Structures are given as C-alpha cells and as structure tokens.
Structure 1
Amino acid sequence: MKTLAIISQKGGCGKSTLAIHLAVCAVKDGLTVALFDIDHKQESSYEWFLTRGKSNELIVLQALANQLPELLKQGKNGGIDLCIIDTAPHTDEPMTAAAAVADFVLVPTKPYTLELRAIPKTLEALRLVKTPHSIVINEAPLGHQADRARAVLEEQGYPVLNTVIGDRVAFKHAIADGLAVHEYEPEGKAVEELTELFEEIKQEMRFYGNTANHKTIDRRKRA
C-alpha cells in the first residue's frame, strides 16, 4: 500500500479536485482506494462522495489528522492499494501529520504570483518531515503562464512534475454531479492530463503493481 498526501499552504489551488480525480484514476487503474478528507472546514472530497454514492473500489472518509496512522494500518490490513489524504490549506500540525505518514506529497499551485509566493512556506514544512514531494502546476490557462511559473519554480530549485493540469470547466460540472471528468467527458483533454499526472506520481512513489483484494477498512472511523 502507498500513501499520497496533497498539501498546499494556499487555499483554492485545487487540492480536493486533484484528490478526487487521482482517486478515480487509481480506480480506473484497477486499484482499491481510500480517500481521507481532513479538511474539516470545506470537506469537499467527502461532500462529493456523498453526492456520488457508495463504491466498493473507492472509500471516502472524514478523518482527523491524529486518526491517520490507525486508518492507514486498517487500510493496509484490509487490502487497500492507495490511500490519498486531502488536507486543509495550512502549514500546521494536521498538514505535518499527513506529510509524515505519506510516501509522497503532491503540492498543487496555480501559475500565478500569489500562489507561487506560498510555495516556499509549504516546502519548508515538508523538509522538516523529509517526505519526497513535487509541485504540480494546476488550473493553468491557455498560453505561456504555466511555462513562466515552471521557470520561476525551477530557478529556485524546486521539484516540478512534467504534467500541467489545465483550467477546464469540465472539472466543475463533473464534481457538481458527483462524477469525475472520466465519466463526464471521457475523451476530453482533462482525462489525458490526469492520466499523465497519475503515471508520474506512480513513478515517484515507485508504485507499479495492483495488490487489491477488494476488502475495505472500517467505515465507522469518522471524525
């Protein structure tokens, strides 16, 4: 079992949208997935799951950061292949706790000045726990804004994944209906980009196989 945390000090950078869609990518890849939503102010991932309905391959739970070690233990014993942690936009104790139990941390950022200025604080917190991490440029508009953001980040020596996720209205429509873009617009560019991103993340985590036996963790472990 592998664990992916999605973390950023800046709010509104698309953490929950990525958490949801990477979970669906993993399910499409034949994996059994648990998504833990520890953002108690927004609960975007959990609200999406309530709209979507139950699934044998995807579990979404509300959780407290201090519950994560026990939930991950249950997941490993219960045959979960991939756990994804959707965090709140702060560099505080819950974020550090999520990073500490993860195999890899994904740091999403929009390609604009205010969002890029928040990156150093996020990465400084991650260095304290020494978890491998990379930035993904998210919600990028058409044009060269993503290229300019990448140049700024790489000039500072920050790790940036190759895949860029575009700013696409399909994400908003799909999530509103409890869907992923895989179902809303299966032949769209968003699915192509997400698939590329998921493959990059699997390489970063050295995660190559499907060990799913389709058991589940205790659904009563909720905040």
Structure 2
Amino acid sequence: MKTLVIANQKGGVGKTSTLVHLAFDFAERGLKVAVIDLDTQGNASFTLAVHKSGIAASSLFGAVTPFDLAPIDNIALIEADPRLADLEKLDLGKAAEAFSEAVSIIESRGFDVCLIDTAPSLGIAMASALLAADFVASPIELEAYALQGITKMNATITAIRRKNTKLQFLGMIPSKVDGRNPRHTATLADLQAAYPALILPTPIGYRSSIADALASHCPVWEIRKTSARAATKEVRAMTQHIHDKMEIA
C-alpha cells in the first residue's frame, strides 16, 4: 500500500479538493482507496460522506485494536470527528506509533492506497501522518505569501525525514490559479525559478465547478457545466501525474 499525505501549513489552498479528486480518480482505476480525514473541519468527510466506515479518525491515535474497513465503490472513509481537537494533549511519540500501527492494519485489509487529509498546522495529527507516509504533496495558492508557506513546509518535511527516511516530497501543486491575474503569473514564475524540481506541471485553475463538485459529493468530471470541462482536464492531469510519481501498480 502507498500512503500519501496532502499537507500545507496554510489553509484554503485546495488540500481537500486535491485529496477527494485523487480518491475518486484512483477508485475509478479499480484501486482500493482508504481516506483518513485528520482535519477538524471535516470537509473531506462531507464530500465523501457516502463512503463513511463508521470509524473515527481520532481513534487511530490511541490503543489501536484490529478493525475491519470495507470500501464502498472502492473508497473507505475514516472520518474526522471532534476529538481530533484533543490530540495536542498526547505525546507525539506514542501517538505517531499508534497511527502507524493503524495504517499497517489498513494495509493488511488489502487497500492499495491510503490518502490522508490534514489540518493547516503542524500538530500531532500532521506530524504523525508524515511519520507514517510514503509521500507528501502540497497544494499552494499563488499569492505573495506562498513562498513563505513553502519554505515552512519544506523545513517541516526535512525535519520529518530525519525519522521517516522513506518519505518523498512529490512537490507543490499550484491551485486556484487565475491565468488572467498578473500577480498569479508572476508568482508562479517566481516559484518555478526558486523550486524548479518541486512545482508540479499540473496547475489547477480557480474554477467554480470544482466547488460545485465538492458540494455535490462528486468529482468535477460529473458536473454538467461547460466550465467543468477545463477543470476536468486540469484535475485529471494532476491525478495522473501523482499516480505515476507514486508508481502505483
């Protein structure tokens, strides 16, 4: 099983839309996908509600006992719950060990991929997820503070890799890009110059059809709007790129 964390210490950058579209895309490929929602806002849990397993995400950080996890249409959701807010009271070492054990249990249930959504802060949940993961990807907005956020995220990943040497940073996904905005164009050029190997060549435009899809509990390619066509092309290119980078069989 390959495990991917979607993370950024800045909110509102498109983490959840990236994760749920990866889940929908991978499931359509016939892969068995587990999704763990570690964001207390629970947006991924809302969009993927039909795939709920009945398992609360906070339960993965305590004394973990073997559990069953059955996918619905190839996706099984371990949903966010209010007790995630209490994780900061836990010892990181013990919490990370329990979470890693839970991921191993998911793998033993025959899942091909585990996708993990995280809150926009480096706390117990994000650190535990990164310590257990094989890959991490970071959606970013093309605003002036994007470079600062990227520097912070890079430092976090570098620190985590001292303990999780298998963790690979797939890169940054430009999100909510307005091609008509000169500031976005300039910022993207700056990012490509500063991090030429880390900017994914699959930017996602700022399109209302993506928000419509999330609200409708479906991928953007099921939205019957003309504007969804361009969004579908961009999102499919992103999911294909990440699928290839993860070398999923």
Does TM, scored on the shorter chain, surpass 0.5? Answer: yes
Shift of 1:174: 1.4
| Worse-superposed segment, 126-135 or 11-20 | 126-135
Conservation of the 8 A alpha-carbon contact between 1:164 and 1:193: yes
Higher RCO (CA < 8 A, seq sep 6+): 1
Conservation of the 8 A alpha-carbon contact between 2:51 and 2:75: no
Q: Secondary structure at the match of 1:166?
A: coil
1:95 equivalent to 2:133? Answer: no
Conservation of the 8 A alpha-carbon contact between 1:104 and 1:204: no
Aligned to 2:61: none
1:170 equivalent to 2:209? Answer: yes
Aligned to 1:110: 141
Cα deviation per residue 1:158-205 (whole Å; 9 max; x = unaligned)? 611110011111111111121121222497122221221112112322
Map residues 44-193 of structure 1 onto 2, 5 A cutoff.
44-50=43-49, 52=50, 55-62=72-79, 66=95, 67-130=98-161, 131-133=167-169, 134-143=171-180, 145-157=183-195, 159-185=198-224, 188-193=229-234
Conservation of the 8 A alpha-carbon contact between 2:3 and 2:113: yes
Q: Tell me the distance in 1 between the aligned counterparts of 2:46 and 2:73.
A: 18
Shift of 1:148: 2.6
| Contiguous gaps of at least 5 residues in structure 2 | 53-71, 88-94, 162-166
Conservation of the 8 A alpha-carbon contact between 1:16 and 1:45: yes
Shift of 1:70: 2.8
Q: Secondary structure at the match of 2:201?
A: strand
Q: Secondary structure at the match of 1:22?
A: helix
The one-letter code of the counterpart of 1:170 is S
Shift of 1:95: 1.6
Conservation of the 8 A alpha-carbon contact between 1:146 and 1:164: no
The one-letter code of the counterpart of 1:47 is F
The one-letter code of the counterpart of 1:59 is A
Q: Tell me the distance in 2 between the aligned counterparts of 1:194 and 1:145.
A: 22
Q: Tell me the distance in 1 between the aligned counterparts of 2:160 and 2:10.
A: 19
Conservation of the 8 A alpha-carbon contact between 2:21 and 2:239: no
Shift of 1:96: 1.9
4+ long deviations beyond 6 Å: none
Shift of 1:110: 0.8
1:146–1:43 CA distance, 2 compared to 1 (3 A): same
Conservation of the 8 A alpha-carbon contact between 1:96 and 1:126: no
How many percent of aligned residue pairs carry the same amino acid?
28
TM-score, normalised via structure 1 length: 0.84
TM-score, normalised via structure 2 length: 0.76
1:114–1:185 CA distance, 2 compared to 1 (3 A): farther
Q: Tell me the distance in 1 between the aligned counterparts of 2:131 and 2:177.
A: 29
Aligned to 1:8: 8
Q: How many residues align?
A: 206
